[in-house]
Amino acid sequence: MAKLRGPHLSTPLTLLGSDRDALQRSDPGAVAPGEDARYLVTRAGAVTLREDDDGTLHAVLAEADPRDGALQPLVLLGRRDGFRVLAAEIAEPSPELDAPGRDLRDLRRVADQLADSDADLAAAAVAMGAWHRSMRHCPQCGSALEPEMAGWVLRCREDGTEQFPRTDPAVIMAVRDGQDRLLLARNAHFPSGFHSVLAGFVEPGESLENAVAREVAEEVGITVEEVEYVGSQPWPFPRSLMLGYRAWAPDAGELALQEEEIAEARWFSREELAAALEAGEIALPGTASMGRALIDDWFGRSAQR
Structural domains in the chain, CATH included, are 22-135 (3.90.79), 168-299 (3.90.79.10)
Q: Stretch 231-249: mean pLDDT, rounded?
A: 94
Q: Stretch 30-56: mean pLDDT, rounded?
A: 95
Q: Stretch 130-152: mean pLDDT, rounded?
A: 95
What is the per-residue pLDDT across 181-193, written as a single tens digit (0 to 9) for each? 999 999 999 999 9
Residue 304's pLDDT is: 75
Residue 1's pLDDT is: 41
Concatenating the DSSP letter of every residue in the chain gives -PPP--SS---TT----SB--GGGTTSTTTTS--TTEEEEEEETTEEEEEE-TTS-EEE-EESS---SS-SSPPEEEEEETTEEEEEEE--S--TTTS-TT--EEEHHHHGGGB-GGGHHHHHHHHHHHHHHHH--B-TTT--BEEEEGGGTEEEETTT--EE----EEEEEEEEEETT-PEEEEEETTSPTTB-B-EEEEPPTT--HHHHHHHHHHHHH-----EEEEEEEEEETTTTEEEEEEEEEETT--S--PPTTTEEEEEEE-HHHHHHHHHTTS-B---TTSHHHHHHHHHHTS-TT-
Residue 13's pLDDT is: 79
Q: Stretch 192-201: mean pLDDT, rounded?
A: 97
Residue 2's pLDDT is: 45
Residue 92's pLDDT is: 66
What is the per-residue pLDDT across 68-107, written as a single tens digit (0 to 9) for each? 766 689 999 999 999 999 999 988 665 544 555 578 999 9
In the predicted structure, residue 16 carries a pLDDT above the cut 50: yes
